[in-house]
Amino acid sequence: MTAHCQVRFGFWFYAIYSVSLSKELSFSTSFMKRTFTREATTFGLLMWLYTQALSQSLPSPSTLFRRQLTFGSGGGFSGTARSYVLHENGDLWVRERATDSLKLHKTLREKQTKQFFQSADQLQLDKYKFNHPGNVYYFVEYSNPKKRLKQKITWGAPKQKVSVYVQRFYNQLTKTI
């Protein structure tokens, strides 16, 4: 069974696809009529799938790079959290916890990115254990999937103070935003 449909495309569409869809074609000045066959329906479905694939978000940055620094804050009255993910290539991603969406925020200079990762190594964030969140909390997480390592430092509790060096490092990271 074939379905008749009026389609308004330009001549280029006809020129490209008339070879594969050689059915009854008729022209007029403002539109082109075409009898769609199973091939045309399949082509339409494939084009729809292709456009849906293009509209999807980028792959997760955690699967693309070796090391990453995640930092952010959350809590308070609304309970929302916002985090940023910095990769060794300089890409800085932002993640909103309310929607769990991940978007590329900006790309840092190579020199600045290298300094952040060197500072993380000097502070030995991969070995630093501190988990004392408060109502409002702050965090820095160091990840190295190659070594299967993930260490998160969380602070904010009034009676528990994080290292001054970690606090300075966090402040430097947030200045890049």
pLDDT in tens, 5-15: 334 344 444 44
Q: Are residues 73 and 107 in the same domain?
A: yes
71 in the same domain as 40: no
Question: How far is 155 from 128, CA to CA, in rounded Å?
Answer: 12
CA distance 29 to 26: 10
* 67 and 124, same domain (yes or no): yes
- Same domain (yes/no): 40, 66: no
Q: For residues 79 and 138, state if they share a domain.
A: yes
The 10 Å Cβ neighbour count of residue 36 is 16
Give the span between the Cα atoms of 38 and 1, in whole angstroms. 9
Give 152's contacts (C-beta < 8 A, 6+ positions apart): 70, 131, 139, 140, 141
Same domain? For 148 and 88 the reply is: yes
Phi/psi region, residue 75 (left: phi>0; alpha: psi -120 to 50; beta: rest), is left
Q: Is 153 within 8 Å of 125 (Cβ atoms)?
A: yes
Between 31 and 133, the higher pLDDT residue: 133
Q: Are residues 51 and 91 in the same domain?
A: no
For residues 116 and 171, membership in a common domain is answered with yes
Number of domains in the chain: 2
Residues of the domain holding 46: 3-55
pLDDT digits (tens, 9 = 90+) for 11-61: 444 444 444 444 444 444 444 444 445 565 666 666 655 665 554 445 455
